[in-house]
Amino acid sequence: MKIALASINPTVGNINLNFNKIRENVNKAISLNAELVIFPELSICGYPPLDLLDKQTFINECLEALNEVAKLSEKISIIVGCVTRDTDLIGTNIFNSAILCEKGKIASIHNKTLLPNYDVFDEVRYFEPSKKILLTELSKKKFGITICEDAWNDKDFWVHRKYENDPIEILSKMKAEFLINISASPFSIGKEKIRTEMFSQIAKKNNLPVIFVNQVGANTDLIFDGGCKVYDRNGNLIVASNRFKEELVLFDTQKEYDRITYIPPSDLEDIFNALVLGIRDYCTKSGFKKALLGLSGGIDSAMVAALASYALGPENVLCVLMPSQYSSEGSIAHSQKLIKNLGTKGTTINIKMLFNEYQLSLEKEFEGVNEDITEENLQSRIRGNILMALSNKFGYLLLATGNKSELATGYATLYGDMCGGLAPISDLYKTSVYELARFINREKEIIPVEIIQKVPSAELKPNQADQDTLPPYEILDKILFHYIEESKEEDEIIKEGFDRDLVRKTLKMVDRAEYKRKQAAPGLKVTSKAFGTGRRFPIVQGWR
């Protein structure tokens, strides 16, 4: 039996576009003489649809599209992800389903059993769990169909399980001959390695071939790395598609395959590919063709400029230099060098006069009060206003350039450098930004070495450096990782070898900056715990 695995890039809510992608891949699979084509989880509506699922008209249109997909199955069987609806009066009556279509009709529906309700997932809010696990038969072979999380509960793989039952184990005991898992599994650093090892163990443990089909592309803050895979009954990887791109690959159940020696890419390569895809999809799916950003001469804005150039093409990126009386000649020169290296557009708007006008306007109100962070923030907000004006006038998407270390500690200005429609590196710690810059420069200098080597500074007052306010980043980022990703508390972090006062100060900064993060631009998730939908803390609280 020839099976086509289609990793497609759906757009949430764009049901017509998604249907056309499905139809295109069905036709391609037919041309390859495939007997079955498999699509990712919720591929008709895109993942995650969130509160669109509260709209009955949305559900109706999904079901209408599902019926049209079924009509495509006259010449080939299709497994597709879509919402389905029940008619009882208990719960949401909505299911996250894998639907088998054959001979122009819906042949069977397989509902998701394990509904994730952690990190960025909130499926319990929308869906009902499966009431029954079923096998299906194709070409006289019994297939067990599961959806994403259904495969993530093997008692021999996970030390701590989130659910009591294991759909894979149940299907194995039901004498399935093949296991299929359709997914919308978001990217995070290191997850590809875990997925690969997990599915390999599932295949070997159950002595069953495993077929994995994952969504690719980005929807808002979530990036999906795709990558279809097939494992033989011994756990060997025998078929694999490319990640971070749409692709259809063929698997023949009658063919003998050699084992693929699969070495997962480095974290930095994965991060680079994920962020480029995330920026590209956020722009194109939101209707933007071009982006702009403020270029300061520092590593963060240089990184965003580079990523945007790879994502959109340098001709579609505008870098805006906005020097003040505190900007160093080096920062301006380094920014100009970066623009030349990337081939982006560049313009310079000096804010010295505007800043002086603001100070004159506020002179009476501020009389007798010393200059402080207020004047620093004024410069940042002037720059934010200029960038937003250019965005409004010419239809550019404004990219915010702050990193995770800054967003965590509040070392960012609301309505200033936090302005933007997307914050591409807001889930990368400062130390990771430097590492990614060296990765980008691995073959030739893209980001000027002077930018990588210079002491980080906001350049909002004379002789300013980030470490006047923050601990050294190599220490700060480790503390932040323990607190944010690992959810450790003060005493636990101190036991890792950090100074008590430093830990206490850092955690206090993180907690106090929650109100800023609630107003921040959406960021692209690449770590196991990003700010945004995956980390929810109250602004007003008395824990610390």
Angle between helices 352-361 and 373-394 (to 10 degrees): 120
d(CA 496, CA 504): 14
- Which tokens is 280 given? 């590209």
Neighbouring C-beta atoms of residue 392, cutoff 10 Å: 10
d(CA 14, CA 44): 8
Specify the DSSP class assigned to residue 467. Answer: G
d(CA 168, CA 483): 34
d(CA 33, CA 13): 31
Residues 494/190, Cβ–Cβ less than 8 Å: no
Query: Can you point out the beta strands (E) in 86-140?
Result: 94-102, 105-111, 135-138
Give the catalytic positions in this structure: 41, 112, 148
Burial of 115 (0-12, 13-18, 19+ CB in 10 A): buried
Residues 535/407, Cβ–Cβ less than 8 Å: no
Contacts of 461 (CB under 8 A, 6+ apart): 326, 375, 376
String of DSSP letters for 311-339: HH-GGGEEEEE---TT--HHHHHHHHHHH
Residues 526/428, Cβ–Cβ less than 8 Å: yes
- Residue 341: helix, strand or coil by DSSP? helix
Residues 183/191, Cβ–Cβ less than 8 Å: no
Contacts of 353 (CB under 8 A, 6+ apart): none
Burial of 71 (0-12, 13-18, 19+ CB in 10 A): exposed
The H-assigned helical ranges of 72-219 are 167-173, 191-206
